[in-house]
Structure 1
Amino acid sequence: MAVQTLAGQFLALQLVVLLLVLTVASAVSVRQSAADFRDTRGVLLLRGAERLAGTEPVRVGLGERPIEPETLTAYAEAERRNLGATAVLFTSPGGAVLAGSGAGAARGEVDLGPSTARDLRAWTGDLTVEGERSVVAHVPVVSNDGDLLAIVVIAEKYPSLMQRARAVLPDLGTFLGLGLALGVAGSWLLSRLIRRRTRGLEPAEIAALADQREALLHSIREGVVAVSPDGTVTVLSDSARELLGLPDGSEGRTLDQLEIEPAVRAALAGGSSARDQVVVVDGRVVVLNRSPVHHGGRRVGTVTTLRDRTELMAMQSELSARRSVTDTLRAQTHEFQNQLHTISGLVQLGEYDEVQAFVGTLARRRAAISDTVTRLVDDPAVAALLVAKVSLAAERGVELRLAEQTALPRLDPDLSADVGTVLGNLVDNAVDATVASGGPTVDVHLRDDDGIVVVQVADTGAGVAPDAVSEVFRRGWTTKPGDASGRGVGLALVQVVCERRGGSVSVHNETGAVFTARLPRSRRDG
């Protein structure tokens, strides 16, 4: 069986409602027509009875000088024809028929019912005449002395139900046709409006889409958030609700009404596209992608997907640290090979004093670097990283200098690992920028500022362009040439590590770019 279209359903509904209304209106009209008949014909019959009762020959003939019944009958017949009544009778006060015309004229007596004519007062009402329900008028015929001589009875039976229905049928037919035309036009316009609002989908298709939507939102692992242009959350999947820590019933509320962090609110409310934007929610690293949705040339909202990448970022942090160590070892290996080649050549030449002097110089230089670092940095992991980075920078022709104001105490292992991740990535980026611009130095300044570890790295490169300051920490952003694989992660990782601890990272330009990271000693509660 074919599914009826939305327009057809509306039309059928309106036709049913219209037919019900017309049925009720017909019943009321028929019932009202009976009341109208009683009121209208009752007045006319009462007037006809009053005319007869006031006719002098009738009064005289029923009083002092009786006349032939045929004469009274003639008067009755004339009035009956004039009014179109069923019967016109002259009766005695007791109801005996004296003369008349029409139904009941041949009967010897009629029922006067609750008539007030015996009290010399006119009366109209409903009575049964010859088995037919009729409207009846009674008017007393009074002598000059005020005595009741007779009663004029004029009756007219009610029209049948079919007759009354035929009387109102033309109007009902007109109303039915007009209502049908309006119903068809209204259904067509309403269906067009609804189809335009529902993208041309029928109710069954909308229901199927709703079921599929619910199944999809409950099954996908990635969080999905749809936001309308006015900031109202229209779609919120289970995963997104869990990632953002939102309660049930958050759909239908605006972003300003939800208890979410400002950075997350700004990311969800944005109207432009965003790719792999990293935010921290309750200590978890969340990567979001935002796409605007357009229909008919106008923006109807945005859809944002959320992915929990906490474990992935931790692995990237560890990988970054391992890569840094690997690069450092590679540089040291290259440096040691050159030094060994030099020593080997001097030995082959028999320059033993030169060998001794060369080895002493290397030992003193290595000791000077270690002493300088360990004098200013008490944390062994961070100190070891700095010693390694000095050698790595020197291998690339850059001098890595540690500021004399540096003072870093021993840190707990968790904070030490985070400081190492931040310092290693900032130093690597600073060395790359310095080498690219032919700069000579990279300066590092570490300090503990009232419970906040401050890591500041300044290069002598080209600096950060003003229009790129807001993009420099975005995942995937890089100025390095070549394959994008593995690029644009370091600074994004630095920002994530800082924000995960409740800190921050910023950049400004002096001689080159100056990056400043702040990491609280106490990790923010997740």
Structure 2
Amino acid sequence: MPSTRSESIAEVARWRRRGRSRRGLKLRSFRLQVMLLVGALLAGMLLAQGAYLNHRKAEIIADQIGQRALSVALSVASIPAVIDAFDDDDPSATIQPIAERIRRETGARYVVVGDDEGIRYAHPLEERLGLPMVGGDNDRALIHGQSYVSEATGSLGEAIRGKTPVFDADGNIVGIVSVGFMLDRVELDVVEHTSLGWLLVALMIVFGFAGAYGLSRHLKRVILGLEPHEIARLAMEKEAILQSIHEGILAVNHEGEITLLNQQGRRFLDLPSEREVLGQPVQDVVPNSRLMEVLDSGERQFDQEMWLGDHPVVVNRVPVMHEGEVEGAVATFRSRREIVDLSQALSAVTRDVDMLRAQAHEFSNKLYTISGLLQLDRVKEALALIHQESERAQAQMAFLMGHVADPVLSGTLMGKLTRARELGVLLEIDEQSSLSVPLTLHGQEVLMTVIGNLLDNACYAAVQGIGTPSATGLDADAGPRQPRVRLFFTDLGEQLLIEVEDNGPGVPPEQIESIFSEGFSTKPGKHRGIGLALVSRLCQENGGAITLEDSELGGAGFTVVLDKTLCREPSVSNV
């Protein structure tokens, strides 16, 4: 087994090294691949175009030389001395000098004149005079009387020849004139005239490869130095990340058109498919969106609240910048209800921690006191203190056990009583309070949140009211008073009723309308204004309401009404 494991690890290491080698090769060859691809394509196009143009140029040059040969032949055939010489006893004596002079002046390879049977009267080589003309292409001129250009192999080699018949005064064909330019000389002329074109093609190919190299470097910069396979992998990873995150994401371009919407965003907007909104103006899809403001100003917006349909969300909006210009904007939005639920969970944990801390602090003080009495040999006083604490705890437990049927709510109230004693607040639970039916799991969560937040706020307000005169004026001369909080709850009737009062300073009239708004708080510091807003939302979600009025104790009094469905159905015993 260890050997197999070692071999597996070694194989993985070799695979990773090969992967790095392949990636290194790709990194080194990307620019070369782009340069070769673009350069080869450009070179192929230039070579094809150059070949075609030079071929056409060669054809034009050859045709011009042929027409030149034909023009010379027509000129010779129209010379009167040449025509009259055909009636002489020795035509060559007259025609040969004329033909040679014209040959030298025109640069032709040969000017041959023959009779109607193709016997030479003029030829560059005098020893060939009187011999038949070679090539076998005289019939069109001698028989049909045509003037034409031909390409054939004569006695001097392969040439382009212009041929025309010689007519006498009566229009009869008495001879033929053939003017030729050798093909090798024609090819030299073609090469001379097309070499410049091929040189330009070569230069254009060199510049094309240089441009391809520059293009490859530019593309490398544009794609941030990444390889194509890396870009593909990043695109897939980005898509997977966008679709898996819990926040909704909406992106627009500089014209305000939607370019990206992830799966969570579609759920918030209640859209069946992403394709239906891509390319659409964001104002048509999200009428109250403020992304256009971000596009215009380029400023970021954080923790903005808005509604998507009937769903409250918290939105962050940031511009997409490129070289100092706004290219688009991205909005991320998260359900505000989830944030409130998270705050609720944190509040529950904080309450538990506070309860444990308060109990630990209280019992620590009591233990220190008992320890001191025992050290002073005051056993009776120590026992009396123990009995006093035991009786008070038993009285509280007996009251809660007798009046509260739900153990979770009883535990919450015990913790709040302990916390109130630690703060120096007298927390009174009305003797008429009762909860005769246990709560459902949801009901336990709701009542723990509602009663916990209300008691925490009441204790804070009562402590803040220390040293202030009573609102009723009854103890105005008595100086500082003890902070007091009173709790009443009952499940009698059709609904659950909860009342929490304190003797604090109360709520100013100008703040009554805002006291249940999320983020508003009379307490100093950040991250406040959640408790009462959470209580208000829970009341609305559970068929109830919360109201604020003046307390009989002189401070604020909160009354909460909840639907009785939070309680379990009473069990019916079969007799």
SS at match of 1:140: strand
SS at match of 2:447: helix
2:77 to 44, 48, 53: 53
Matches within 5 A, 1:3-18: 3-4=27-28, 9-18=33-42
Are residue 121 (structure 1) and residue 146 (structure 2) matched?
yes
Residue type of the partner of 2:81?
Answer: P
Report the counterpart of residue 113 of structure 2 in structure 1. Answer: 90
Residue type of the partner of 2:99?
Answer: A
Q: Following TM superposition, by how much is the alpha carbon of 1:56 offset from its aligned partner in structure 2, in angstroms?
A: 0.7
CA distance in structure 1 between the partners assigned to 2:547 and 2:179 by the alignment: 112
1:80 to 99, 103, 107: 103
CA distance in structure 2 between the partners assigned to 1:327 and 1:503 by the alignment: 35
Report the counterpart of residue 368 of structure 2 in structure 1. Answer: none
Matches within 5 A, 1:89-488: 89-101=112-124, 108-110=132-134, 111-112=136-137, 115-116=140-141, 118-130=143-155, 132-159=157-184, 164-177=190-203, 180-181=206-207, 184=210, 187-188=213-214, 190-191=215-216, 193-199=218-224, 201=225, 203-204=226-227, 207-208=229-230, 210-211=232-233, 214=236, 228=251, 230=253, 232=258, 253=278, 272=300, 274=302, 296-297=323-324, 302=330, 316=346, 319=349, 413=440, 416-417=443-444, 419-420=446-447, 422-424=449-451, 426-428=453-455, 430-431=457-458, 434-435=461-462, 438=465, 460-461=506-507, 472=519, 479=523
SS at match of 2:108: coil
CA distance in structure 2 between the partners assigned to 1:500 and 1:102 by the alignment: 124
Q: Following TM superposition, by how much is the alpha carbon of 1:296 offset from its aligned partner in structure 2, in angstroms?
A: 4.6
CA distance in structure 2 between the partners assigned to 1:324 and 1:68 by the alignment: 140
The answer (yes or no) to whether the contact 2:73–2:178 under 8 Å persists in 1 is yes
Report the counterpart of residue 406 of structure 1 in structure 2. Answer: none
SS at match of 1:169: helix
Number of aligned positions between the proteins: 464
Q: Following TM superposition, by how much is the alpha carbon of 1:317 offset from its aligned partner in structure 2, in angstroms?
A: 7.2
CA distance in structure 1 between the partners assigned to 2:288 and 2:415 by the alignment: 34
Q: Following TM superposition, by how much is the alpha carbon of 1:77 offset from its aligned partner in structure 2, in angstroms?
A: 1.6
User: Which of 4-13 and 18-27 deviates more?
Assistant: 4-13
SS at match of 1:119: coil
Q: Following TM superposition, by how much is the alpha carbon of 1:185 offset from its aligned partner in structure 2, in angstroms?
A: 5.2
Are residue 71 (structure 1) and residue 118 (structure 2) matched?
no
Residue type of the partner of 1:47?
Answer: S
1:34 to 58, 68, 71: 58
The answer (yes or no) to whether the contact 1:224–1:239 under 8 Å persists in 2 is yes
The answer (yes or no) to whether the contact 2:116–2:174 under 8 Å persists in 1 is yes
CA distance in structure 2 between the partners assigned to 1:258 and 1:144 by the alignment: 97
Classify 1:178/1:519 alpha carbon distance in 2 versus 1 (closer, same or farther; 3 Å).
farther
Q: Following TM superposition, by how much is the alpha carbon of 1:228 offset from its aligned partner in structure 2, in angstroms?
A: 4.4
Report the counterpart of residue 21 of structure 1 in structure 2. Answer: 45
**What RMSD over aligned residues (CA atoms) do the two structures have, in Å?**
7.0
TM norm structure 2: 0.55
Q: Following TM superposition, by how much is the alpha carbon of 1:169 offset from its aligned partner in structure 2, in angstroms?
A: 1.6
Q: Deviations over 1:382-437 (max 9, x none)?
A: 998999899799977699999xxxxxxx9993653454255235524642663475
SS at match of 1:71: helix
User: Sequence identity, in percent?
Assistant: 14
The answer (yes or no) to whether the contact 1:217–1:224 under 8 Å persists in 2 is no
Q: Following TM superposition, by how much is the alpha carbon of 1:176 offset from its aligned partner in structure 2, in angstroms?
A: 3.2
Classify 1:240/1:130 alpha carbon distance in 2 versus 1 (closer, same or farther; 3 Å).
farther
Structure 1 residue runs of 5 or longer lacking an equivalent are 334-344, 349-358, 403-409, 447-451
The answer (yes or no) to whether the contact 1:382–1:419 under 8 Å persists in 2 is no
Residue type of the partner of 2:519?
Answer: V
SS at match of 1:424: helix
Q: Following TM superposition, by how much is the alpha carbon of 1:121 offset from its aligned partner in structure 2, in angstroms?
A: 3.2
Report the counterpart of residue 494 of structure 1 in structure 2. Answer: 534
User: Which of 154-163 and 460-469 deviates more?
Assistant: 460-469
SS at match of 2:48: helix
Q: Deviations over 1:177-222 (max 9, x none)?
A: 355346535743x4564355333x1x43x63365366458758975
Residue type of the partner of 1:431?
Answer: A
Classify 1:100/1:260 alpha carbon distance in 2 versus 1 (closer, same or farther; 3 Å).
closer
